[in-house]
Structure formats: structure tokens, C-alpha cells
Structure 1
Amino acid sequence: MNERWLQKQARNCLRHYGCDDDMMPLDEDDWRELCARIAAAKERQPNADIYELVHDAVYRFIAGS
């Protein structure tokens, strides 16, 4: 999966939850972890909508779970 595209989707989702780059700056490791979570979820659920997986992963990332 294209990591740059996943980052864009995750960034849009973070904005949806009221977080922007100033409020919640993510370093390179955080972005890698978030994209890895999304990619792993897609591998486990290949028929799932990627946008739902992104939202789920971002929510869990924000919640710290």
C-alpha cells in the first residue's frame, strides 16, 4: 500500500476528529506506525472499506489503544 497516500488519508481523518498538524504533530515513527496499523488491518480484512479502516486506526491511535 502506498504510505504517502495512507498518510494523506490519516491526516484528513485527524482533521475530521479536530486535530491538525499543530495540535497533534506526528513524527516519522508515529506516521510509520499508523500506516502499518492501517496496512495490517487491510491484510486481515481485504474486503473492508479502506476509509473505514483508516478511521478505525486513527481513532485507536488518538485513544492510545
Structure 2
Amino acid sequence: MSGDVVNLRQFRKAKARTDKERHAEQNRITHGRTKAEKDLTRRLNDKAAQSLDQGRIERNDAQSTDSTE
């Protein structure tokens, strides 16, 4: 029965390092975009919302007002 001896202090530090790096990577993905990338995403979302609204059928008859009561 042979097992590797593990220094718990070093193990905890290594685990903390990997957790911190994982968190930093997530932050880079979330916040690490340039202004141009943010503007492009905003414009694409606006265009998609506009095209979705163009296809919407609005009803202004009595049925639409009765359904809210």
C-alpha cells in the first residue's frame, strides 16, 4: 500500500489558484470586450428587436380590451 504524501497547505494554495484563475477567465469573458464589440452587439440586438416588432400584429378591437379584465 503505497500512496503519495500530499502537503495540504500546498494543495489548498494550488486549488485556490485554480479557482481564482477560473473566476478571472469568467470575468474576462463577461467584461473584457472592447467598446466596438459592445456597440456591435447592441446594434444587432436592436435590429433583431425591430424586425421582431415589425412582424407583430396588433389588435385594437374589443377582444383585446376584454381579455385584460
- TM bin, normalised by shorter chain, reads 0.3 to 0.5
What TM-score, normalized by structure 1, do the two folds share?
0.37
More relative contact order in 1 or in 2 (CA 8 Å, sep 6+)?
1
Task: Please give the TM-score of this superposition, normalised by the length of structure 2.
Answer: 0.35
